[in-house]
C-alpha cells in the first residue's frame, strides 16, 4: 500500500516541470516542505510492519533524493532560460579584455637592455647549467675560492678528479662572458641578461635564484674612462638626467682594477634619507677592467686588447625604481603585486 503510494509519487516527481521560480517553489512546498507529500509518507512509515521497514525506508530515501535532484534540475533550467538569448545585449562590446602584465623584473631588464642596445651592445644568452671551467676557472677564481664551495653553489654533478669539469647551476652570468670571448673575436660589445642560482636560505633579502645583467667590451685601447662614461650614461637614462655616480675601489676575481658604483640616491636626490641610510648614495653595480688572465684564458691577446665588464642585479635596480624590498614577492605569483605594474611599460 505505502509502496504503491511511493511509486506514484516517484512518477509525479519524474514528470514535474516548471516555467519559472514561482512554479518551482510550489513544487518544493508540495513535496519537500514540512507539510509536503514526502513528510506525510514518513508519518505513515511508523505503521509499516517491522519486516518491511528496511525496504520501505530505502524507497522513501530514493523518493526524497529524486525530488531534490529534480527541483535542482528545474532551477538550472529556469536560470538558463532567464539568461537566454532574448536577454543578451548583442550590441555590448566584449572589451575590456583583462590584459596580463609584464613581470616587474622583465620590465626593468628590458629597460636596461634597451639602454645598452642603443649604445651598441649586442645580446647574448649563455647556459644556466654550466661547467666550473666557464663560471669560475676561466674567470680567475682560485681553486679554493669560497664561491666554489657547496655552501654557495648548486652542483648538478661533481668530478672528483677535475673540479673544472663540475657541472653547476651558474652562480653569476659572468660565465657568459667566458663563453662569448671563447667564440668571438674582438671588438666585442656584449650584454648578457639571465637568471642565476645560489644556495641561500630564502628571506626578504636573499633568494636561491635572482637575475643579473652583465656587459662586456673588449677592443684595442679600451680604458677605465670608457667604462665610467658608459655607466654614467646608463645611470642618467635609468634614473634621471640629474643622477650622479661615484666609483669606489673593490675586488672581483675577474677584473683588475675593480670598482663598485653608487648613484646619488634617487629618492632624496642625494640629501640623505632612510633609504640611502642618510649617505645620499646607493650602490647599483660592480665593474672593472677585464683581468688579462681572463682574456688569455679565452684566447684573446692581452698585449693587444683590453676590456671592461660590469654587472648588476635586476632585483636591486627594480627595488631602487619601484621600492620592492622583499625579494620573495618576485616569485610568489601574487597577482595583486603583479598588477601594480600594469602601467609600467
User: What residue ranges bind Zn ion (CB under 5 A)?
Assistant: 265, 267-268, 273, 275-276
Closest distance between Zn ion and the C-beta of residue 148, in Å? 37
Query: Which one, 18 or 317, has the nearer CB to Zn ion?
Result: 317
Query: Which one, 38 or 265, has the nearer CB to Zn ion?
Result: 265
Gap between the Cα atoms of 87 and 81, Å rounded:
9
Closest distance between Zn ion and the C-beta of residue 263, in Å? 10
Name the closest residue to Zn ion (Cβ).
265
Query: Which one, 173 or 266, has the nearer CB to Zn ion?
Result: 266
Q: In this structure, how many other beta carbons lie within 10 angstroms of the beta carbon of residue 24?
A: 20
Gap between the Cα atoms of 242 and 236, Å rounded:
7
Closest distance between Zn ion and the C-beta of residue 265, in Å? 3
Gap between the Cα atoms of 219 and 190, Å rounded:
12
Q: Residue 109 in 3-state DSSP?
A: helix
Q: Are 173 and 314 in contact (CB under 8 A)?
A: no
Query: Which one, 213 or 265, has the nearer CB to Zn ion?
Result: 265
Q: Are 262 and 282 in contact (CB under 8 A)?
A: yes
Q: How far apart are the first and last CA of the chain?
A: 77
Place of cell 649617505: 279
The phi, psi pair for 251, rounded to 5°, reads: -140, 130
Closest distance between Zn ion and the C-beta of residue 320, in Å? 10
Closest distance between Zn ion and the C-beta of residue 280, in Å? 6
Closest distance between Zn ion and the C-beta of residue 319, in Å? 13
Q: Are 139 and 147 in contact (CB under 8 A)?
A: no
Query: Which one, 266 or 318, has the nearer CB to Zn ion?
Result: 266
Query: Which one, 269 or 313, has the nearer CB to Zn ion?
Result: 269
Query: Which one, 154 or 275, has the nearer CB to Zn ion?
Result: 275
Give the total residue count for the chain.
345
Buried-state track 269-283, b at ≥16 Cβ within 10 A, e below 16 = ebeeeeebeeebbbb
Q: In this structure, how many other beta carbons lie within 10 angstroms of the beta carbon of residue 171?
A: 20
Query: Which one, 173 or 319, has the nearer CB to Zn ion?
Result: 319
User: Which secondary-structure segment (H or E) carries 10?
Assistant: helix 2-14
DSSP 245: E
Q: Are 140 and 131 in contact (CB under 8 A)?
A: no
Closest distance between Zn ion and the C-beta of residue 266, in Å? 8
Closest distance between Zn ion and the C-beta of residue 316, in Å? 15
Amino acid at each position: 500500500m505505502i509502496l504503491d503510494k511511493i511509486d506514484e509519487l516517484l512518477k509525479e516527481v519524474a514528470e514535474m516541470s516548471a516555467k519559472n521560480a514561482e512554479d518551482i517553489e510550489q513544487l518544493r512546498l508540495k513535496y519537500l516542505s514540512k507539510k509536503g507529500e514526502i513528510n506525510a509518507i514518513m508519518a505513515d512509515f511508523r505503521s509499516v510492519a517491522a519486516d518491511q521497514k528496511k525496504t520501505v525506508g530505502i524507497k522513501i530515501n530514493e523518493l526524497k533524493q529524486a525530488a531534490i535532484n529534480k527541483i535542482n534540475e528545474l532551477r538550472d533550467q529556469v536560470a538558463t532560460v532567464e539568461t537566454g538569448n532574448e536577454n543578451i545585449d548583442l550590441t555590448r562590446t566584449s572589451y575590456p579584455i583583462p590584459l596580463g602584465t609584464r613581470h616587474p623584473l622583465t620590465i626593468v631588464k628590458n629597460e636596461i637592455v634597451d639602454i645598452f642596445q642603443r649604445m651598441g651592445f649586442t645580446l647574448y644568452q649563455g647556459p644556466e647549467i654550466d661547467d666550473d671551467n666557464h663560471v669560475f676557472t676561466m674567470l680567475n677564481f682560485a681553486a679554493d675560492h669560497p664561491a666554489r664551495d657547496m655552501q654557495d653553489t648548486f652542483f648538478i654533478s661533481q668530478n672528483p678528479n677535475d673540479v673544472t669539469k663540475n657541472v653547476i647551476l651558474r652562480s653569476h652570468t659572468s660565465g657568459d662572458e667566458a663563453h662569448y670571448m671563447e667564440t668571438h673575436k674582438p671588438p666585442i660589445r656584449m650584454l648578457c641578461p639571465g637568471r642565476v642560482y645560489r644556495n641561500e636560505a630564502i628571506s626578504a633579502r636573499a633568494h636561491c635564484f635572482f637575475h643579473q645583467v652583465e656587459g662586456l667590451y673588449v677592443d684595442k685601447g679600451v680604458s677605465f674612462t670608457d667604462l665610467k662614461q658608459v655607466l654614467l650614461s646608463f645611470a642618467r637614462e635609468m634614473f634621471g638626467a640629474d643622477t650622479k655616480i661615484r666609483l669606489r675601489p673593490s675586488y672581483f676575481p675577474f677584473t683588475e682594477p675593480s670598482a663598485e658604483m653608487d648613484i646619488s640616491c634617487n629618492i632624496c636626490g642625494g640629501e640623505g634619507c632612510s633609504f640611502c641610510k642618510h649617505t645620499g648614495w646607493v650602490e647599483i653595480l660592480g665593474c672593472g677592467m677585464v683581468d688579462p688572465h681572463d682574456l688569455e684564458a679565452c684566447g684573446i691577446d692581452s698585449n693587444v686588447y683590453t676590456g671592461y665588464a660590469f654587472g648588476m642585479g635586476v632585483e636591486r635596480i627594480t627595488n631602487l625604481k619601484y621600492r620592492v624590498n622583499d625579494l620573495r614577492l618576485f616569485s610568489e605569483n601574487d597577482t595583486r603585486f603583479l598588477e601594480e605594474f600594469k602601467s609600467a611599460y
